[in-house]
A = this chain, B = another copy of it.
Amino acid sequence: MRVLVPFDARSPKTRLSGVLDDENRNEFARVMLDDVLEVLQRAGHQPHVISTGEVSCECPVRIDEQPLTAAINDRLAAVDPPVGIVMADLALLCVATVERLVETDGDVVIAPGLGGGTNALVVRTPDFRVDYHGTSFRDHRRQADSIDATSTIFDSFRVTLDIDEPDDLVEVLLHNQNRAATWLEQHGFSIGHAGDERTLLRSVE
C-alpha cells in the first residue's frame, strides 16, 4: 500500500527545544523519519514522503510547502485508494503494528493521537478528506459518517504516542528498537531510576 508520510523539514519538533537545540532537533526528527520509513518498508508497503523542504532519502519525496491538510488532500485527490497516512514522528512504530493497522477493517481506519489528534489513517474510499486542525480525531470520524463510510478506531500506543515533548523521549528509550533510541542514548539521554516513573535524565556532555 502507498503510505504518505508528511515531514516538516523546516522547523521540526519545536516543543523539544528545551532539551535539544536546532541542529539536534533537525537530526533527531530525521532519525525518527528514517525509522518510520524502514518499518513501513519492512512491513511491505511503499512510503512516499510529503515534505515541506528538501530531504534526501531512498523512497519517493514530494516537496509541498502547503499546510499539512492541503498537502495531504491534494495527494488523496490524485491517487487511488487505499492510501495510508502515517506521521513521521511515530518512533514507537513496529512492523507488527503496521500489519495490524493495514489488516483493520473499515473504509477509514483512524488512529488517534494523544489529545485528540490523528496519527495514522488508512483511507479506502475516494471521497474522504483530512482536516488536521483541532481535535481531528473526532472530525475525521464525523467526516467518515458524513460520506456514509465506515470508520474504525485503531488501538495502539505505538501509533497514539507521537514524539512531541521531552517526556515523550522516555517512551522512545523504552519502546524504540532502532535508530531513535540509539541516537538519544548517544546524546546522553537515559531513563531515571527515581521513584517517579517518567524521569528523563541527560548527562552533561
Contact = CB atoms under 8 A, between A and B. Distances in A.
Contacts of A107: none
A55 B98 CA distance: 42
A178 to B, nearest CB: 15
Nearest to A168: B114
Interface residues of A, number: 34
A202 interface: no
A118 to B, nearest CB: 10
Nearest to A153: B175
Contacts of A96: 155
B134 A170 contact: no
Contacts of A170: 115-116
16 contacts: A96-B155, A112-B157, A113-B197, A114-B171, A115-B170, A115-B198, A116-B170, A116-B174, A117-B197, A135-B197, A137-B174, A155-B157, A156-B156, A156-B157, A160-B160, A160-B161
